[in-house]
Amino acid sequence: MTDSTPTRLGDRGARRVEVTDAAGQRIDNFLLGELMGVPRSRVYGMLRRGEVRLNGGRVKPNYRLRAGDVVRIPPWRGPMTGDAVVPPRRLIEALADRILYQDSSIIVLDKPSGVAVHGGSGVDHGVIEAFRAMLPDERGLELAHRLDRDTSGCLVLARHRGALLELHAAFRDANVAKTYDLLVYGAWPRRLRTVRAPLEKFVARSGERRVRVQSDGKAARTEFEVVETTERASWVTAHPHTGRTHQIRVHAQVSQHPIVGDEKYATEAQLAASRALGVRRLCLHARVVTLRIGGGTRRFEAPVPDDFTEAWRQLSGAQIKLNDSR
């Protein structure tokens, strides 16, 4: 295990921390480890407002630390480790039952729909907080990637710093492959196999964070394949070649076939139609993740959930219009 404990230069009020073995770690993740129990949203607020200083200046959340950097960590007068909101026991036990694989380096989880991967934005806790409560001695436990709150399926966690760096390198070097299952409104054309559309994040007038296609956005490519289709709905698989936020959701929308239950990108008419059939989830499931790490290849699969297959049964037999784009 890599020791990422820094040299502490002061412990009263604001303190300065000189980086030693934490070199290479993103500063947001570093701060989350240093401020155990502080809400994630508060940590990002500290960075945004310039309360955190790096070598005397402001710093962005994605900055990777270097040996010798000095980080000013602001005082925190709210709850710390001992007073932090503890994830409910039922969540911890439910997630423990959904572990697909674990060894000394990684945990692969079949995340249920509706559970956030981390706290923040009105959510007190998520997967990472639950696993930190489950494994309190593993200070290096981190998410290797993200899934949207309402997306189910394979989620990979790193158990120590070395594993996290290896996984990040695998994602960066395209040594990770994912297969998603999704249900979409309408009949997906079998000829539509590849969607290339650059994406950018933006904040809507409501304050909601969303993603849209933009000519000068970040390049994004998704391969789609039809599993089964009707006039009203289609079961499709997706293979993203890039890892942009909401990539599959927006690429489905721009193809005129939003994902069933997508409250950000489907129309109100589409949502109303699927709700009338009893569909209450985002029908997007990360079924397979393949990791090429450590000189070998590991493949993990999360079975398609019962509520997903039930949604397909209802949708494929529906007698109401599902692809109303109004």
- Structure tokens belonging to residue 259: 């994902």
Q: Is the pLDDT of residue 123 over 60?
A: yes
* pTM of the shown model: 0.77
> What does the DSSP assignment read for 250-262?
HHHHHTT-PBTT-
- Domains identified in the chain and CATH numbers: 14-74 (3.10.290.10), 87-163 (3.30.2350.10), 174-316 (3.30.2350.10)
DSSP assigned state of 151: -
pLDDT of residue 11: 37
**Beta-carbon contacts of residue 104 (< 8 Å; ≥ 6 apart):** 159
Residues classed as catalytic: 148
Burial annotation 166-202 (CB, 10 A radius, 16+ → b, else e): bbbebeeeeebebbbbbbbbbbbeeeeeebebbbbee
Q: Return the percentage of the chain with pLDDT > 90, whole number.
A: 67
Distance from chain centroid for Cα 282: 14
**For 257, phi and psi rounded to 5 degrees?**
-140, 75
Per-residue model confidence as pLDDT tens digits over 180-222:
999 999 999 999 999 999 999 988 887 788 999 999 999 999 9
Per-residue model confidence as pLDDT tens digits over 134-188:
998 998 899 999 999 999 999 999 999 899 999 999 999 999 999 999 999 999 9
Q: How confident is the model at residue 234 (pLDDT cuts 50, 70, 90)?
A: very high
- Structure tokens belonging to residue 281: 């989830």
Per-residue model confidence as pLDDT tens digits over 53-88:
999 999 999 898 888 899 998 887 554 444 456 789
Q: How confident is the model at residue 13 (pLDDT cuts 50, 70, 90)?
A: low
